[in-house]
């Protein structure tokens, strides 16, 4: 679709959706972001855009010599991993409840954690060096070491999920969505609080958009903790993928797995755009550089897409991270009943109780429209439809 340009105070706002499809509060957030003097070129807005805390979900922001932790989000490094297997639909049993149950036993969900560390060198390597870096994190999280260790390889709750999917050729895929768990959230909250207390942020239109400036000890501390949390999230998904793969190997000794696809969608990257070295925050957005493989999920009943980036410079080489919510969790709980959830997840082996009504497919935007709106950002590699969905 054609890019919609909305004038901003310091830079313009470029959207891959219509203005009338963006809720007024989210549009105001985008205007607030556009007023920050450190923002370079423009603010890029993905078609799954919706209201966030401080910064809008579905926004890509390039800053020169500054970064806003709220523009990353509190689940640092949240993202997706997917892998195609050698299995086909014919290999799956008629009753998928057993596989779902085995996955739920292998991977703790919600607030759950492993009793002992679940990771080893098969997952991501360099674990000793990785945990040594924990000692250099802000003292505010030092008491969380044991919890951080035991939450590696766990799903969490909310919109996080594990799915077994079929593509249009009936090949079986494993896909999962999770982030840096409690430790990432605590690091984010700590640094957002520090940023809000800095005097250069006193006149911002929204105190949640407080930034760190290059060359300061606060920026150095944040970037150290941020990159550690992003690594934690990547490792967390790698461990979960191995645990799920082990479940499938017990059932199918002949199974083979392709190279996994993995992408963050709440993170910071040091990149060069429009001739400038910048810090790019993608909050609810994936990198879509030319040839980059990415994952754009829908809801628990509608399916997902594997995509390849086209390297569009106007989006800072980015694309959407999913379908995006079209209503809040509270509104979804009030509007829908369990019977609606059952109907909308027909054919999917998943929870169908009141505890996940806020994740009902109707609470999300149409994933097919979201994909169509970014045809200049990505091309479709595979379309997936879940047959099992594990929620926290």
* Residue ranges at the known binding site for Mn(2+): 75, 160, 177, 265
Output the known binding site for GMP: 159-163, 265-266, 297-300, 304, 321-324, 391
List, in order, residues 6 or more apart from 278 with CB less than 8 Å away: 40, 62, 63, 64, 270, 271, 272
Q: 190 catalytic, yes or no?
A: no
Output the known binding site: 75, 159-163, 177, 265-266, 297-300, 304, 321-324, 391
Nearest residue to 380 (alpha-carbon basis) of 319, 323, 308: 308
Report the distance separating Cα 153 and Cα 119, nearest Å: 7
Nearest residue to 179 (alpha-carbon basis) of 165, 158, 193, 194: 158
Count Cβ atoms within 10 A of the Cβ of residue 183 and give its class: 0-12 exposed, 13-18 middle, 19 or more buried: buried
Report the distance separating Cα 179 and Cα 151, nearest Å: 11
Dihedral sign from CA coordinates of 260, 261, 265, 266: positive
Nearest residue to 68 (alpha-carbon basis) of 174, 179, 288, 222: 222
- Catalytic residue from among 114, 190, 264, 321: 321
Judge contact between 73 and 188, C-beta under 8 A.
Answer: yes
Residues recognised as catalytic: 321
């Amino acid at each position: 679709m054609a890019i919609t340009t909305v004038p901003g105070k310091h830079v313009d706002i470029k959207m891959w959706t219509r203005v009338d499809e963006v809720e007024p509060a989210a549009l105001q957030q985008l205007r607030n972001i556009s007023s920050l003097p450190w923002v370079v070129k423009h603010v890029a807005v993905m078609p799954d855009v919706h209201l966030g805390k401080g910064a809008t979900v579905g926004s890509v922001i390039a800053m020169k010599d500054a970064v806003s932790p709220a523009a990353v989000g509190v689940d640092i490094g949240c993202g997706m991993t997917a892998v195609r297997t050698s299995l086909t639909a014919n290999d799956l049993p008629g009753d998928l409840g057993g596989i779902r149950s085995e996955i739920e036993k292998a991977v703790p969900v919600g607030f759950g954690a492993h009793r002992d560390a679940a990771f080893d060198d098969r997952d991501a390597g360099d674990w000793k060096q990785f945990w040594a870096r924990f000692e250099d994190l802000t003292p505010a999280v030092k008491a969380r070491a044991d919890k951080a260790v035991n939450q590696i390889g766990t799903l969490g709750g909310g919109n996080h999920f594990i799915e077994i999917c079929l593509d249009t050729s009936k090949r079986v895929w494993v896909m999962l969505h999770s982030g840096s768990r409690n430790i990432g959230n605590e690091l984010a909250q700590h640094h957002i609080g520090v940023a809000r207390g800095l005097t250069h942020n006193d006149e911002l239109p929204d105190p949640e958009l407080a930034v760190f400036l290059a060359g300061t000890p606060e920026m150095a501390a944040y970037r150290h903790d941020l990159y550690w949390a992003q690594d934690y999230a990547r490792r967390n998904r790698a461990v979960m993928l191995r645990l799920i793969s082990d479940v499938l190997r017990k059932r199918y000794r002949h199974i083979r797995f392709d190279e996994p696809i993995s992408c963050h969608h709440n993170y910071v990257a040091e990149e060069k755009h429009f001739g400038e070295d910048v810090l790019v925050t993608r909050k609810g957005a994936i990198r879509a550089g030319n040839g980059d493989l990415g994952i754009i999920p829908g809801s628990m009943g509608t399916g997902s897409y594997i995509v390849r980036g086209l390297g569009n410079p106007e989006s800072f080489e980015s694309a959407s991270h999913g379908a995006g919510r079209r209503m809040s969790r509270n509104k979804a709980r009030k509007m829908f009943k369990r019977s609606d959830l059952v109907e909308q997840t027909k054919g999917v082996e998943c929870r169908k109780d009141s505890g996940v009504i806020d994740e009902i497919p109707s609470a999300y935007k149409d994933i097919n429209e979201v994909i169509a709106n970014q045809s200049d950002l990505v091309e479709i590699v595979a379309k997936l439809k879940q047959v099992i969905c594990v929620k926290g």
